[in-house]
């Protein structure tokens, strides 16, 4: 609220109060006129001096540079409040002056008073625009929700359509078989006579009912006779009506339908015709199924109604959105809002750009964190692999020592060459193999025991082949278990005749690195020391 507290205005107000108080004490007209005249001058001075303060504040608000809609609304609101405060201030001064002097004062125009209505209208337009934007956003969200519900409702209708096709097929097949098995389809040949007899019975039945009603009123003695006649005719009528209903079912039961409305119309007609059928055998076969299907199809109507209501509501919402957009784009709105909307669009673009940059920075940070994590994992894996490699080297060295003692030791009297000779001698002489002196050494060799204990001996080349095949199979199994790549071909055991290889074998000329690679844990099987 504007405050008129500068020195000149305050001084003039004090002088005005002083003269106003003295006016109450004056009795003569001349003195009264002098005081009133002075009060008029002071009022004009107060208005002039306070107006200078007002216009200064007014100019600040009027000329304030704004960019966005919210800023403009704030400026306009403050401007309207300032003008109203000025009008109220001047009115109070004038009312007080009139109560003292009973004289009206000619007031100078208040700046902005004539524009007050226009300013208020601009505020209304801005408020309406903000409300429209909010409403439009809410309606668009509602449409999204409605479209989701529409999709589900449509999907349910499609499911119902598929179900209805199955129901139709089942009903047609059931009625067709029933008509055929009960020979009801033969009624078609008699349709003309059945129709004539039905219409005749229908007429007689109507007359019989009227006669019974008349006899009850005019001739009670004829009631029994009329009732008996009605019963006889009614029996014939029901029989022909039964045939007419069956003919009606035969006519429409296999009629093709494309829409739910057509299906519902057909099923309503079938339901109506079934009410007139009295053939018990026919009813026992088809009535339960027809009623069950009818109930299911009737329930689908609610799904159709739900879909239609949703569709209607979506159309209404779209119309509301279009109306709102038309109002926003109207000339009245654009005159007030266009520059502000352009600035608002630029601001939103800037905000969006900053948001995207921030998101990108966050993404890069996450990528960097993930990269460091992967590096740490790789580092740990390398350490594990190095540790595993050292353990494997240690095991290989130990295995080598064991192999040297059991297989490659020249001091062992029962090497492969000895075993081959034993096998050949047993095959030729058909005698029991001679056990070695070193019983413990013999038992420790797994592959020698397998050869010696075999009841049927093979030739030496087959034995060599089996031994090396077993070694290579063991190598393959170790490779699969440890997920280690296959050794190059040059690192495998030599192929061919083991005799030739054994004769040329010189343990002293073997390179240690080649020997380690040859008898690695992944290549050579573990030989038990039992």
Cα–Cα distance, 307 to 301 (Å, whole number): 10
390 and 412 assigned to the same domain: no
Mean pLDDT of the chain: 79
Cα–Cα distance, 408 to 396 (Å, whole number): 15
H runs (alpha helix) in 218-330? 223-252, 260-274, 280-328
Give the end of a domain, one of 324, 350, 377.
Answer: 324
300 and 191 assigned to the same domain: yes
Of 4, 189, 18, 20, the C-alpha closest to 88 is: 4
Question: Percent of the chain scored above 90 by pLDDT?
Answer: 36
Please check whether residue 1 lies inside any domain of the structure. no
389 and 319 assigned to the same domain: no
Containing structural domain, residue 51:
7-114
Q: 275 pLDDT band (50/70/90 cuts)?
A: very high
Q: How many residues does the chain have?
A: 530
Cα–Cα distance, 520 to 522 (Å, whole number): 5
Specify the pLDDT at position 59: 92
Please check whether residue 238 lies inside any domain of the structure. yes
Specify the pLDDT at position 5: 76
Please check whether residue 139 lies inside any domain of the structure. no
Give the sign of the dihedral formed by CA 292, CA 293, CA 296, CA 299: negative
350 and 450 assigned to the same domain: no
Q: Are 339 and 196 in contact (CB under 8 A)?
A: no
Specify the pLDDT at position 320: 92
Q: Are 399 and 519 in contact (CB under 8 A)?
A: yes
56 and 176 assigned to the same domain: no
Q: 393 pLDDT band (50/70/90 cuts)?
A: confident
Phi, psi of 403 (to 5 degrees): -70, -40
C-alpha angle with apex 438: 435 to 441, nearest 5 degrees? 100
Question: Percent of the chain scored above 70 by pLDDT?
Answer: 76
Specify the pLDDT at position 239: 92
Burial degree of 150 (CB within 10 A; 0-12, 13-18, 19+)? middle
- Sole residue written with tokens 């800023």: 71
381 and 361 assigned to the same domain: yes
Q: Are 423 and 458 in contact (CB under 8 A)?
A: yes
* This prediction's pTM: 0.49
Asked if pLDDT for residue 95 goes beyond 70, the answer is yes
Structural domain total, the chain: 4
Specify the pLDDT at position 314: 92
C-alpha dist (Å) from residue 212 to 208, 227, 235, 242, 293: 6, 6, 16, 24, 41
392 and 494 assigned to the same domain: no
* Residue pLDDT, tens place only, 315-348: 999 999 999 989 888 888 888 888 777 777 777 7
Specify the pLDDT at position 457: 41
Please check whether residue 119 lies inside any domain of the structure. no
Asked if pLDDT for residue 471 goes beyond 70, the answer is no
Specify the pLDDT at position 225: 84
Specify the pLDDT at position 9: 86
Q: 182 pLDDT band (50/70/90 cuts)?
A: very high
Q: 396 pLDDT band (50/70/90 cuts)?
A: confident
Number of H helices, E strands in the chain: 15, 0
257 or 108, which is more confident = 257
314 and 432 assigned to the same domain: no
Asked if pLDDT for residue 184 goes beyond 90, the answer is yes
Asked if pLDDT for residue 2 goes beyond 50, the answer is yes
444 and 464 assigned to the same domain: yes
Please check whether residue 69 lies inside any domain of the structure. yes
Task: Give CA torsion, residues 190, 191, 193, 197, to 10 deg.
Answer: 130
Specify the pLDDT at position 473: 53
- Sole residue written with tokens 């960019």: 67
Cα–Cα distance, 5 to 54 (Å, whole number): 11
* Residue pLDDT, tens place only, 70-87: 888 899 999 999 999 999
Cα–Cα distance, 84 to 74 (Å, whole number): 15
For helices 223-252 and 260-274, the axis angle rounded to 10 degrees is 150
* Residue pLDDT, tens place only, 483-530: 444 444 444 445 455 455 555 555 555 555 554 544 444 444 444 444
Q: What share of the chain is helix, strand, coil (3-state, %, to 5)?
A: 80, 0, 20
Cα–Cα distance, 33 to 28 (Å, whole number): 9
Asked if pLDDT for residue 276 goes beyond 50, the answer is yes
449 or 110, which is more confident = 110
Give the end of a domain, one of 349, 376, 402.
Answer: 402
Q: Are 38 and 19 in contact (CB under 8 A)?
A: yes
Please check whether residue 303 lies inside any domain of the structure. yes
187 and 294 assigned to the same domain: yes
* Residue pLDDT, tens place only, 202-248: 899 888 888 888 887 777 778 888 888 888 888 889 999 999 999 99
* Residue pLDDT, tens place only, 412-457: 444 444 544 544 454 444 444 444 444 444 344 444 344 444 444 4
Mean pLDDT of 91-107: 86
Cα–Cα distance, 479 to 501 (Å, whole number): 26
The residues, ordered by sequence, that sit 6+ positions from 147 with a Cβ below 8 Å of its Cβ are 314
Specify the pLDDT at position 294: 94
182 and 270 assigned to the same domain: yes
350 or 249, which is more confident = 249
The radius of gyration computed from the CA coordinates of the chain, to the nearest angstrom, equals 57
Q: Are 140 and 78 in contact (CB under 8 A)?
A: no
For 507, the 3-state DSSP assignment is helix
Asked if pLDDT for residue 394 goes beyond 50, the answer is yes
CB count in 10 Å sphere of residue 93: 18
255 and 371 assigned to the same domain: no
Give the end of a domain, one of 297, 324, 351.
Answer: 324
* Residue pLDDT, tens place only, 140-161: 999 989 888 999 999 999 999 9
C-alpha dist (Å) from residue 61 to 68, 75, 79, 477: 15, 6, 6, 90
Please check whether residue 131 lies inside any domain of the structure. no
- Sole residue written with tokens 């934007």: 133
Of 167, 178, 177, the C-alpha closest to 293 is: 167
Please check whether residue 207 lies inside any domain of the structure. yes
Longest Cα pair distance anywhere in the chain, in angstroms? 173
Of 171, 194, 169, the C-alpha closest to 184 is: 194
């Amino acid at each position: 609220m504007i405050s008129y507290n500068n020195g000149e205005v305050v001084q003039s107000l004090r002088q005005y109060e002083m003269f106003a108080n003295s006016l109450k004490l004056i009795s003569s007209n001349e003195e009264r006129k002098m005081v009133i005249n002075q009060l008029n001058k002071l009022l004009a001075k107060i208005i002039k001096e306070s107006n200078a303060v007002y216009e200064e504040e007014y100019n600040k608000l009027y000329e304030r540079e704004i960019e966005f809609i919210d800023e403009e609304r704030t400026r306009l609101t403050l401007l309207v409040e300032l003008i109203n405060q000025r009008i109220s201030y001047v009115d109070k001064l004038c009312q007080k002056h009139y109560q003292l002097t009973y004289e009206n004062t000619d007031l100078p125009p208040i700046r902005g008073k004539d524009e007050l209505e226009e300013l208020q209208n601009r505020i209304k337009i801005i408020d309406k625009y903000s409300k429209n934007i909010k409403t439009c956003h809410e309606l668009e969200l509602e449409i999204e929700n409605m479209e989701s519900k529409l999709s589900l409702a449509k999907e349910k209708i499609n499911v119902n359509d598929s179900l209805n096709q199955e129901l139709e097929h089942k009903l047609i097949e059931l009625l067709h078989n029933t008509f055929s098995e009960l020979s009801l389809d033969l009624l078609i040949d008699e349709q003309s006579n059945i129709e004539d007899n039905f219409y005749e019975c229908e007429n007689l039945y109507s007359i019989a009912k009227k006669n019974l009603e008349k006899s009850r009123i005019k001739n009670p003695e004829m009631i029994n006779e009329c009732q008996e006649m009605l019963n006889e005719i009614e029996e014939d009528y029901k029989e022909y009506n039964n045939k007419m209903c069956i003919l009606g079912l035969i006519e429409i039961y296999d009629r093709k339908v494309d829409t739910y409305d057509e299906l519902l119309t057909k099923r309503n007609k079938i339901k109506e015709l079934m009410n007139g059928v009295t053939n018990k055998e026919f009813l026992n076969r088809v009535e339960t199924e027809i009623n069950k299907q009818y109930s299911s199809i009737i329930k689908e109507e609610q799904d159709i109604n739900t879909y239609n209501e949703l569709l209607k509501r979506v159309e209404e919402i779209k119309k509301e959105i279009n109306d709102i957009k038309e109002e926003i784009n109207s000339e009245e709105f654009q005159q007030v809002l266009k520059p502000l909307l352009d600035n608002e669009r630029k601001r939103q673009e800037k905000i969006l750009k900053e948001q995207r940059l921030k998101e990108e920075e966050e993404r890069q940070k996450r990528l960097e964190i993930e990269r460091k994590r992967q590096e740490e994992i790789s580092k740990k894996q390398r350490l594990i692999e190095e540790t595993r490699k050292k353990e494997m080297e240690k095991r290989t060295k130990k295995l080598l020592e064991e192999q040297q003692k059991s297989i490659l030791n020249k001091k062992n009297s029962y090497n492969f060459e000895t075993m081959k000779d034993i096998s050949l001698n047993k095959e030729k002489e058909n005698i029991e193999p001679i056990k070695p002196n070193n019983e413990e050494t013999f038992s420790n060799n797994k592959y020698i025991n397998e050869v010696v204990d075999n009841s049927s001996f093979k030739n030496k080349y087959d034995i060599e082949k089996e031994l090396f095949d077993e070694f290579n199979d063991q190598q393959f199994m170790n490779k699969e278990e440890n997920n280690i790549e296959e050794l190059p071909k040059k690192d495998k055991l030599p192929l061919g005749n083991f005799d030739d290889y054994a004769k040329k074998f010189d343990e002293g000329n073997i390179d240690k690195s080649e020997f380690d690679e040859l008898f690695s844990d992944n290549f050579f099987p573990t030989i038990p020391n039992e």
